[in-house]
Amino acid sequence: MAAPLGAFDPLDPPDYEGILDCIHCGICLPQCPSYRVLGLEADSPRGRVYLMRAAAEGRLGLTPALVTHMDRCLGCRACETACPSGVPFGRLLEAVRGQIERRVSRPLGHRLLRTAVLGLFPHPRRLGAALGLLRLYQRLGLSRLVRRLGLLAAFPRLQALERLLPPLPPRGKRLPDRLPATGARRGEVALLAGCVQRLLFPEVNAATARLLARSGFAVTVPEGQGCCGALHLHWGDRQAARALARRNLQAFGGEALVVTNAAGCGTALLEYGDLLPGDAAAAAFNARVRDVSQLLAETAPVPTHPLPLTVTYHDPCHLAHGQRIRAEPLRLLRAIPGLRLVELPEADLCCGSAGVYNLLQPEIADRLLERKLDRIVETGAEVVVSGNPGCLLQLRMGLARRGLGIRAHHPVELLAWSFEGRAPTREG
């Protein structure tokens, strides 16, 4: 018997069997960030699965209420970690959002933001050109003026995007296409340079490549690689995500391990097999993908130079819940001499970034960020560490807004500082 479609059409409907896996136990509710903020059943994973089932069975259409509750989900997958039944909530959500984006009329502001984000961020050349203009915007003092006068207050999503923009340094050197191993050679790895990572956090890519080389890997940055597709999946554009996946499968052909230093990108890469069912290359690709923390925890030599810092660690959602990687980044940090690692309460509660969530739902995202900042302050840390560029942008924005003087960095940066005996500056 075919699964019912109800309100969904045959193009990428949510998996009905996956919906039926939910036993409505409610274990997921206290793990859900949107439920913690809003306290509404319909804004919990259980409530959203119930809405999905009602739509699949034809008892509910793609109504404004259903759309609102799906939009409010961060897609953090904390519910998947908690779920005793293995409900594939992330994939269900992406499929429903795909149906919504194709078939539901969106407000003009939503459509314009979607066009801007997907037309800019996944394209490094376009994003690089835009960042050149934004550097000028900052150097001329226009950024301070806009924020002081509140000129974007009437446009909350545009204001959220502008606030996320960190101080932009001069454009750095391009990452070399190949970096030879400097330690005892172990093999070759291919590095995903990323979109936001390569332009807003080039120091993270550079540190990643140096550390992998020190661990005995020849590092290549394959020509022809592109966006991993994560942003498109957040927006429900599965067709574009598939095209990007095929491009990356071709660019990363071969047998080398594929290393990423961005949690959201890593989760997207690991799901190419689900995105391209029946594609043998996509299924095999999953086994080659590694987060940089996994590989370094296995192979990196012991860092030698003391780093006298008090540090706390924020779990990126797509690392902790999407990839189930928690121990490795902490192991790397604990290996650094002189570093004092303090546990962060609610370390795996989303900071509010969640791909493009902080642009689409800025009020809820801000409430989650404020909660995260409160927990960070409680630790007394000088540095908060996280392995995802979206988290770093969100945290740096919040820390600067409060004037806390706490820095946010990727774990590989601290590891590189210790190996290289370089004292970090205030900017890192």
Looking up residue 348, the CATH number of its domain turns out to be 3.40.50.11810
Answer yes or no: do 324 and 309 share one domain. yes
**232 pLDDT more than 50:** yes
Lowest model confidence (mean pLDDT) among 64-68, 84-88, 151-155, 391-395: 151-155
**381 pLDDT more than 60:** yes
Residues 112-119 have a mean pLDDT of 87
Do the domain assignments include residue 155? yes
pLDDT at 16: 96
**428 pLDDT more than 50:** no
Residues 155-181 have a mean pLDDT of 80
Answer yes or no: do 392 and 311 share one domain. yes
Answer yes or no: do 307 and 275 share one domain. no
**Distance of alpha carbon 168 from alpha carbon 187, whole angstroms:** 35
Answer yes or no: do 357 and 259 share one domain. no
Residues 90-99 have a mean pLDDT of 94
Answer yes or no: do 245 and 317 share one domain. no
**341 pLDDT more than 70:** yes
**361 pLDDT more than 50:** yes
Residues 165-184 have a mean pLDDT of 82
**424 pLDDT more than 90:** no
**58 pLDDT more than 80:** yes
pLDDT at 69: 97
What is the number of domains present in the chain? 4
Domain-terminating residue out of 266, 296, 326:
296
Characterize 373-394 residue by residue with b for buried, 16 or more Cβ atoms within 10 angstroms of its Cβ, and e for exposed: bebbeebebbbbbbbbbbbbbb
Render pLDDT for 234-248 as a digit per residue (tens, 0 to 9).
888 989 999 999 999
Domain-terminating residue out of 103, 127, 143:
103
For 296-370, list the strands marked E by DSSP.
310-313, 340-342
Do the domain assignments include residue 6? no
For 1-76, list the strands marked E by DSSP.
none
Residues 23-43 have a mean pLDDT of 96
- The CATH number given to whatever domain includes residue 58 is 1.10.1060.10
pLDDT band at 183 (very low <50, low <70, confident <90, very high): confident
Residues 124-153 have a mean pLDDT of 83
**101 pLDDT more than 70:** yes
Answer yes or no: do 183 and 292 share one domain. yes
Answer yes or no: do 189 and 233 share one domain. yes
Alpha helix ranges (H) inside 88-218: 89-103, 108-120, 124-139, 142-149, 156-164, 196-200, 202-214
Answer yes or no: do 139 and 239 share one domain. no
- The CATH number given to whatever domain includes residue 263 is 3.40.50
Domain-terminating residue out of 50, 72, 103:
103
pLDDT band at 145 (very low <50, low <70, confident <90, very high): confident
The 3-state DSSP composition of the chain as helix, strand, coil percent (nearest 5) reads 55, 5, 40
**Distance of alpha carbon 34 from alpha carbon 416, whole angstroms:** 36
pLDDT at 166: 79
pLDDT at 172: 66
Do the domain assignments include residue 91? yes
Answer yes or no: do 116 and 30 share one domain. no
Answer yes or no: do 227 and 286 share one domain. yes
pLDDT band at 149 (very low <50, low <70, confident <90, very high): confident
Q: By residue range, what is the domain housing residue 342?
A: 300-420
3-state secondary structure 86-123: CCCHHHHHHHHHHHHHHHCCCCHHHHHHHHHHHHHCCC
